[in-house]
Amino acid sequence: MQAFTTVDSAVIPLDRANVDTDAIIPKQFLKTIERQGLGKFLFFDWRYRDGDPAAPNLDFVLNRADLRGAQVLLAQQNFGCGSSREHAPWALADYGIRAVIAPSFADIFANNCVQNGILLITLPQEVIDALFRVAEDAPLQVHIDLAAQELRSADGQRYSFDIAPGAKHKLLNGLDDIQMTLAHADAIRDYETERRRQMPWLFREPQNG
């Protein structure tokens, strides 16, 4: 997956609490196991009128012309609650979202985001409210530096954020759990070879009859 080092982007201010995974990507789009192509269904029921992609809801923030190409989503508390569907971060990533800023996130959703290269930044509610106030009328540009664990806004504010060391390592290096395991492929191979040497009876083919 794509490594996360720094991002410079406007923020997309989605001022809603308890946004669940069914709102992020509705159930009718869960039939695929492909990660690509889901971005067009992101926030589908809010983004389009009557489920018609030809009829965008111009009141919804994702349809703002001045935010096209923005890579950072600003949200309210408990973002990503609901089911554990991994399609939710797939849709965010495919749309181009690299980071989400909120006061809190659902645990399973948070883990799925790390596995898909999306940085989640948890900041106090008062900071989130201040960012929303600034972003309300015009795009708010931010710079995110994962190594420094810092977010800087164009109005001169700096905010430090916490992140688990394991999650930080995965994001900085573009590694999911499978890739982390494959990094130890030689050690695993050596272990299996030695195990076969010491306990060959465990690996014998069963005798017929």
- Whether 39 has a pLDDT exceeding 90, the answer reads yes
Grade residue 199 by pLDDT with cuts at 50, 70 and 90: confident
| pLDDT > 90: percent of the chain | 70
Which pLDDT band holds residue 209 (cuts at 50, 70, 90)? low
Helix (H, G, I), strand (E, B) or coil at 9: strand
- Average pLDDT estimate for 9-19: 97
Cα–Cα dist 123/150, whole Å: 11
| The predicted structure's pLDDT at residue 137 | 80
Cα distances from 122 to residues 38, 112, 150, in angstroms, run 25, 16, 11
CA distance 42 to 109: 15
Q: What is the pTM of this model?
A: 0.85
Classify domain 6-175 by CATH number: 3.20.19.10
Q: Reply yes or no on whether the pLDDT at 182 is more than 90.
A: no
Whether residue 43 is predicted with pLDDT greater than 70 in this model: the reply is yes
Domain map of the chain by residue range?
A: 6-175
Per the listing, tokens 């191979």 go with 189
Q: For residue 102, what are the CA distances in angstroms to 36, 114, 127?
A: 25, 15, 9
Contacts of the segment 127-130: beta carbons below 8 A, 24+ positions apart: 127/159, 128/74, 128/76, 128/101, 128/102, 128/103, 130/157
